[in-house]
Amino acid sequence: MFLFPRLPATRRLRCEALRELYRSYRSENTCEARGLRLLREWLSPCQREQFNAQGHFDVIGCDSGKKYRIHCGTAMNVHEIDEAGRVRLGLCFAPKGSLVTGDVMLAQKIALETFERRALAVANRCLIVDLRSNAGRAGRANTPRPST
Amino acid sequence: MAMQIVMDHNGDTRHHFDPNDADALAKAERRFKELTGQGFTAAVRIASGEVAKISSFNPTAEETLFFPRLIGG
């Protein structure tokens, strides 16, 4: 019935501790975890604090001075925020290729902080319904492409 | 040791090099030109959390980050 003899309590505890250590090492070294770690390293102290507390962080566009909020995600995760703190617009742009979440968010931060106009030129936009103000209607707000 | 961090589907790939080694520096500069030639954006940290986009190789940068060209989602 029992092929393996019962381990003494101290040895069993040591095995469990080792297993837990291995599990945490594995979880900290996934692609996603490494991406989020890189993001945190490159955030300003304020942004890092905001990201840790709220799961998103704000950046200021280098050309317009507008405020953008970058949420955790890889698509439609950038929102333009107005002076009153309301969401005005959703923006969708990301680096080409399938990158992990932290990398996408870091590229979005750097783009808005260093070449905002060029980043916005490629971004798709969509209106965001702010339920608090009950204003605006959801829908795509892309500039219509000229018909060819 | 200086480092070039290239974002990819695995998270990132890091290339360490000694900025005092002429060969390593030349290799890092070649990598910089190759990546930016492919459309990657290069950025460095200039202060705590402040970032700057660079268009030419900076041999004094401790960390240079590269990410692929941006596209609309």
Structural domain span for residue B33:
2-67
| CATH label of the domain that carries residue B55 | 3.10.20
A62/B contact by beta carbon, under 8 A = no
Q: State how beta strands A124-127 and B41-47 pair.
A: unpaired
Hey, are the CB atoms on A75 and B53 less than 8 Å from each other?
no
Which structure tokens are listed for A91?
């923006």
pLDDT confidence of residue A130: 66
Q: State how beta strands B2-8 and B63-67 pair.
A: parallel
Quick check: A131 pLDDT over 70?
no
Q: Which of A103, A104, A115, A125 to mutate to test the interface with B (most CBs of B within 10 A)?
A: A103
In a domain, B15, yes or no: yes
Cα distances (Å, whole numbers) of residue A34 to A39, A100, B48, B49: 9, 9, 20, 18
In a domain, B72, yes or no: no
Quick check: A136 pLDDT over 70?
no
Which structure tokens are listed for B60?
């004094």
In a domain, B20, yes or no: yes
pLDDT confidence of residue A1: 53
A94: chain B residues, CB-CB within 8 Å:
70-71, 73
In a domain, B58, yes or no: yes
Residue type at position A31: C
In a domain, B36, yes or no: yes
Q: Got the DSSP string for A103-140?
A: HHHHHHHHHHHH-HHHHHHH-EEEE--BTTTTBS--EE
3-state secondary structure at position A67: strand
Kindly report the backbone phi and psi dihedral angles of residue B21, in degrees, each rounded to the nearest multiple of 5, phi listed first: -100, 115
Hey, are the CB atoms on A114 and B12 less than 8 Å from each other?
no
Residue B60's pLDDT band (cuts 50, 70, 90): very high
Count of domains observed in chain B: 1
Secondary structure letter of residue A145 according to DSSP: P
SS (H, E, C) chain B: CEEEEEEECCEEEEEEECCCCHHHHHHHHHHHHHHHHCCCEEEEEEECCEEEEECCCCCCCCEEEEECCEEEC
In a domain, B10, yes or no: yes
Q: Which of A34, A114, A124 to mutate to test the interface with B (most CBs of B within 10 A)?
A: A114
In a domain, B73, yes or no: no
* Least confidently predicted of A127-131, B47-51, B56-60: A127-131
Tell me which of B33 and A140 has the higher pLDDT: B33
pLDDT confidence of residue A19: 81
Quick check: B29 pLDDT over 70?
yes
Quick check: A137 pLDDT over 60?
no
